[in-house]
Every structure is written in C-alpha cells, then in structure tokens.
A and B are shown apart, each in its own frame.
Chain A
Amino acid sequence: EAQVTQNPRYLITVTGKKLTVTCSQNMNHEYMSWYRQDPGLGLRQIYYSMNVEVTDKGDVPEGYKVSRKEKRNFPLILESPSPNQTSLYFCASSLILTSPGELFFGEGSRLTVL
C-alpha cells in the first residue's frame, strides 16, 4: 500500500530535550516536505527536499533541522524543543512537485513541549 508513515504519532517532551520525528514513504517520491498545523495559522511549510541531499527552508524553519540521506526518509529534528513548537506536524511527499504534483500526506505527529 502506498503510504507516508510518521513516527511517533504522539509525543510529550520537555524543553530542550532533542527529538526526531521520522517520515518514510514507499512510493519512490523525489519531493518530501514537513508542515506544522496550528489553530488560526493553518498549515505552514517548515522544510522541503527536492531529492537526496537537496533540502531547503520553507516559511517557518527556525528551530528545526532536516536531512535527506535516503530517498525514502526525511526526518525532522528538533535540537532544543521549546513550547512554541507544540503543534501537529505533517510529512508529505510527491513524485515531484511539478507535474503532476499530487501530494500524499502522513497521518500527523502531535507534539507537546512542556
């Protein structure tokens, strides 16, 4: 089954404790991206990757890191989480965001930073 898998789905952590949210897709997609969703602010792009070893900042990259060492994986790293990073995070992938560009989303990871 074609899917984007995120882990963990739910996480409660404390300020400053490094964490990684994993994202894996089994569709051989080139494009992968991370978003956060907050009430009243909608979905905002954090980072994206056009291919292996190619990453770039989205609209809200501060406090986050990413890496793309393999085509299928695109982990989101919070080196020193803060309470303002409490949010619902989504990973998405697309064959390539040009043509046709259909975007597939993971189920989301709800992160709470105390």
Chain B
Amino acid sequence: KQEVTQIPAALSVPEGENLVLNCSFTDSAIYNLQWFRQDPGKGLTSLLLIQSSQREQTSGRLNASLDKSSGRSTLYIAASQPGDSATYLCAGPPWGAGNKLTFGGGTRVLVKP
C-alpha cells in the first residue's frame, strides 16, 4: 500500500524567503504526483500535477520536481508571500491503483510579513 509522508509538518518563514516542501512515497511505481493547497476550512485546490514520465512542472512561482527512484517530490515556492500561508498536501496513486489516491499529512506553512 502506498504511504505518503510530508516533513516537516509545519514551517514558518519570513516573507520573501523561498519555500521548500518535501513529499516522500513508498511505492516508486507512481502514476502521477499532485500537489494541493488547502486554506483553513476550505477544500483542496490542485496546484501542480506531475506525470510519472515527467521530472518537473512549473506554474508561476511554483515548481515541483519528481524523483521516482528516490521516492520523493519537492515543491518549491519562490519569493514567498503572506498569501502563500496554507497547508500543502501531496498525493500519488501507484500504478495499477490509479483510482486510490493516498495523501500525505500535509505541511502547514506560515509566511510572516
């Protein structure tokens, strides 16, 4: 069974600093890897999706990498802003079980002005 781990559980940085969020998964035969953002009391918003054949995806200040061999994905947020404060979650289904999505516990980010 796929297990997804996110460390650290919480992170506090001053505004302008780059953010690095980590996601580890146990089954390297991953189908794709998604990063989500969740604001308090809200649903999840998809940020980036990396297919297994890709090594990274970029959207604006966000860049996500995928290293299947080491079972890791990293989300980089450049020049953080207070509006980036949220919980970030990763999720990935393994091959053959693409319909069963396992989420990491999330990293709660606080960007201080």
Produce 1/0 per residue, B86-113, CB < 8 A to A. Answer: 0001010100001111111110000000
Q: Using a Cβ–Cβ cut-off of 8 Å, how many residues does chain B contribute to the interface with A?
A: 24
Q: Is the CB of B99 within 8 A of A97?
A: yes
Q: Is the CB of B98 within 8 A of A101?
A: yes
Q: How many A-B residue pairs have CB under 8 A?
A: 66
Partner of B89, one of A4, A43, A59, A101: A43
Q: Is the CB of B103 within 8 A of A31?
A: no
| Residue A90 interfacial (CB < 8 Å) | yes
Among the 9-residue stretches A63-71, A75-83, A103-111, the one with 4 or more Cβ atoms under 8 Å from chain B is: A103-111
Q: Is the CB of B98 within 8 A of A90?
A: no
Among the 9-residue stretches B14-22, B45-53, B64-72, B73-81, the one with 4 or more Cβ atoms under 8 Å from chain A is: B45-53
Counting chain B CB atoms within 10 Å of each CB, which of A33, A42, A48, A108 scores highest?
A42
> Which residues of B are interface residues toward A (Cβ below 8 A)?
31-32, 34, 36, 41-46, 49, 51, 89, 91, 93, 98-106
